[in-house]
Chain A
Amino acid sequence: MTDQVLPAWSEPFVGARRDALRHLPPFGTLDREWAIGGTDGSGVTVAIIDSGVERDHPAVGGKLVRSVRVELAADSDDDPLVLDDADALDVVGHGTACAGIIHAIAPGADLVSVRVLGPDNRGKGIVFAAGLDWAIEQGVGVMNLSLSSKSDALFGLFHELADRAYFANALLVCAANNVPGNSYPSLFASVVSVAAHDLANPAAWFYNPRPPVEFGAHGLDVDVAWRAGGRMTASGNSFAAPHIAGYAALIRAKHPEVTPFEVKAILAATATPPGA
């Protein structure tokens, strides 16, 4: 019965379906040693646009260098406010989970937390967009977005922000939404869109030559950091994206001259072979 369910974004990365990912790589000479060997991500800043990051969580390794939260202005005509979040709280645990995954892969990378959980449908899209806008302005090299907006009204705004990030040399790594349908900016061509594969291997990632969701990474039963210094086993595309964000940070640390489009190409060239 479950086979009749609408195909979701993880499907190309799961089980025997991975055979269909076979594809002639155009970059035969690139390997992971060249791409990320010997670097720990030092010199790169990764922004986590999420529920906040717990600064003192052991999984974050003291690498959280800045923490802000975004709130709607009292007057709805005004832009949302970006406020320093001195306490560096995570009211859910989700953002800390993403930060912990990135830190485990790129322990040298600096982390910036942008807390964007808004109160309602309209508010949350606007708050999310304002957080993304702020992170682009800061010159952050990699951003992890394990959330998306479904609002048709905000399509244009997110498209403009995705373009602006691309032109500002910032790589957006977005979790694909589990349910097909509008999902911005995760379905835009300039971003790296990620779904979960079903292997218990954080170092395995797959490239799918059929967009929009081009990468599959570890997202099933992931041991993640959680609120109040805790840990949890969690599953979802949300936890696949930060694996790719971590590897993108390593690529940018080792090859500071590469652009977002080249990072994506290197991720594709060094992806795990589908038969592995």
Chain B
Amino acid sequence: MTDPAFRPRRRAASFDRDARAALAAIGRRAEVARRLELGSAEAVLRSVVEAAVALFEAEAASLALYEPARNVLVFRVAAGEQGQGVVGLEIPPDRGLVGYVFSSGQALAIADVRADPRFGRSFAEQTQYVPRSIVAAPLVDGRGTLGVLEVLDKRSEASFSLRDIELAGVFARQATVAIRASRVERDTSTLLRSVIGALTGDDVPPAGIDALVVAALAQVDDPDDPLWPLVEQIAALRRVGPEHRELLGALLDVLVRQAERGGGRRAGRLRAPGG
């Protein structure tokens, strides 16, 4: 830890106005990218659970992603009629089977879930579905663990085999690659935190980094900012067919040229103040 190569190049206190403005601009661009990519990231998650149901001949599959800012695992998507009730469910990362698989990195299978009335009751109350058997594998790659993939109730067998656990582990690893590739850093504050962390090294206390992140994102949450409706409309354009998209793209191009002629400074909104 005392290796001089890891010395911070810059301390948080020395972040001057320009640096803070640059962080704000990074935060703003990341947020734009995040809002634009929201739909495609969800589509990848859905395709992962749908593929899992087909691959394992399962009744249902679901996928929980870790949200570092709130320290919870959130079930984001599910496939299979039976599995839908789980979407939106939040679980602490050190609780339950899903939490264990996330925290330990170990894939596990459990069978005969109904034999444990405590498990069944609490799970059924929240999801309206009590599976017979579950295999759960961590969504992991070289950069860490993103969340957990759960596959519920193999149709052809009473429980999942060792082979299924291995296969779930390999499949989850490939799914992680796809999920990583599909999303621009989903959580803008995490992105900023890592940028500041890389600039300052380990010497800045987390509270100092948090303060910088909050300051950088102060503008992003402004609901009256006319940028966000524009971003929303552009994101919606991604859903139209290719021929319409081309037409709309051309139209948008004309509008932007008009706007630039009308007021050069306003077109520079995305630029950091002073930068």
Contacts and interface: CB of A to CB of B under 8 A. Distances in A.
A159 to B, nearest CB: 16
A121 B117 CA distance: 32
B159 A177 contact: no
A10 B109 contact: no
A227 B110 CA distance: 13
A76 B206 contact: yes
B112 A232 contact: yes
Nearest to A124: B103
Interface stretch (A148-156, A162-170, A204-212, A259-267): A148-156
A41 interface: no
A117 B104 contact: yes
B161 interface: yes
Interface stretch (A104-112, A233-241, A250-258): A233-241
Interface in B194-241: 202, 205-206
A236 B159 contact: no
A236 B165 contact: yes
Interface in B144-191: 144-145, 159-163, 165-170, 172-173
Nearest to B99: A92
A107 to B, nearest CB: 24
Interface residues of B, number: 47
A53 B99 CA distance: 16
A93 to B, nearest CB: 8
B170 A179 contact: yes
B94 A196 contact: no
Nearest to B72: A119
Given A177-B105, A179-B169, A233 B110 contact: yes
B100 A92 contact: yes
B94 A91 contact: yes
B97 A92 contact: yes
A150 B145 CA distance: 9
Contact of B165 (A94, A119, A149, A235): A235
Contacts of A119: 71, 93-94
Contacts of A219: 162
Interface string A53-93: 00000000000000000000001110000000000000111
B109 A236 contact: yes
B110 A178 contact: no
A205 B92 CA distance: 36
A2 B167 contact: yes
Nearest to A175: B106
A8 B170 contact: yes
Contacts of A147: 103-106
Interface in A160-187: 175, 177-179, 181-183
Interface string A98-129: 00000000000000000001111100100000
Given A119-B71, A179-B170, A227-B118, A152 B105 contact: no
A37 interface: no
Interface of B: 66, 68, 71, 93-97, 99-100, 103-113, 115-119, 137, 140, 142, 144-145, 159-163, 165-170, 172-173, 202, 205-206
Interface of A: 2, 5-6, 8, 10-11, 14, 50-51, 75-77, 91-94, 117-121, 124, 146-152, 175, 177-179, 181-183, 196, 198, 219-221, 226-228, 230-238
25 contacts: A5-B167, A8-B166, A14-B163, A50-B104, A75-B205, A77-B202, A91-B96, A91-B99, A92-B97, A117-B94, A119-B71, A119-B93, A120-B66, A124-B103, A150-B145, A152-B142, A175-B106, A183-B105, A198-B161, A221-B111, A232-B113, A232-B116, A235-B162, A236-B106, A238-B106
